[in-house]
Amino acid sequence: MTVLAVVIADLAATGLKALIDVERPSSRYGTPKPLVPAPHDHSFPSGHAATSFAAATILTAASPRLGPLWFLLATAIAFSRVYVGVHYPIDVVGGAVLGVAVATALRRLVAVRQRSRAVTRSG
């Protein structure tokens, strides 16, 4: 389920980037050169943040005791995108919200399907 959440979060982030035309900080005149090569797509939302928070949400559901570690790692990944100069802070916040939303929706969908299968088997 983690891989599926990451793929869906990545596709959703890519789709939103195509709809929401936000230039990357590195493409603005007068901004410092980024520490890594800047991607050529739009900035909002951060795909790295979306996928890392989607994974953290699913992994936390599977192993709640490790939840703080998963979210610390996702936060570090998101922060790194701002630090290296390829995203604005709002981009990573948007990506984080998107990732958690995708993972939560996927978990609910799976739970509903499992309940409906259980009812069908018992009926």
Burial of 99 (0-12, 13-18, 19+ CB in 10 A): buried
pLDDT of 29 strictly over 80: no
**What is the pTM assigned to this prediction?**
0.87
State which amino acid sits at residue 74: A
Average pLDDT, rounded, for the chain? 90
pLDDT of 67 strictly over 80: yes
pLDDT of 22 strictly over 80: yes
H/E/C letters for each residue in the chain?
CHHHHHHHHHHHHHHHHHHCCCCCHHHCCCCCCCCCCCCCCCCCCCHHHHHHHHHHHHHHHHCHHHHHHHHHHHHHHHHHHHHCCCCCHHHHHHHHHHHHHHHHHHHHHHHHHHHHHHHHHHC
